[in-house]
Amino acid sequence: MVMNTFFYGTLKTHPKFGEQYQVFTYEKEMPKDEDSLVKYFSSDLFYGIGEKTAKNCKHTRIKCCRSNTERRTGT
């Protein structure tokens, strides 16, 4: 499973260690397709969630995302 993580910051020069990237914030991109959502929810990131529970979470997440999108767009 590949999850993108985006880091935001600036390049700084440390007197001893040279150029470094100072991170101010980051964000993780959530999986978008159904199979990736199941893998994500059943991964080691969520203790006690297996594939069966992850499939239920997947449906809940998709419904939640759809209803939030509908609410924002008015469709």
Which residue range is the domain that position 52 belongs to?
5-73
Q: Cβ distance 44 to 3 under 8 Å? A: no
| Residue 64 to residues 3, 19, 48, Cα–Cα distance (Å) | 20, 43, 22
| Residue 58 to residues 12, 30, 47, Cα–Cα distance (Å) | 41, 12, 16
| Residue 34 to residues 24, 30, 53, 67, Cα–Cα distance (Å) | 31, 11, 14, 17
Q: pTM for the complete prediction?
A: 0.46
Q: What is the H or E stretch that residue 29 is in?
A: none
Average pLDDT over residues 38-62: 75
Q: How many domains does the chain have?
A: 1
Q: Quick: pLDDT tens for 17-49.
A: 999 999 999 998 877 777 877 888 788 887 888
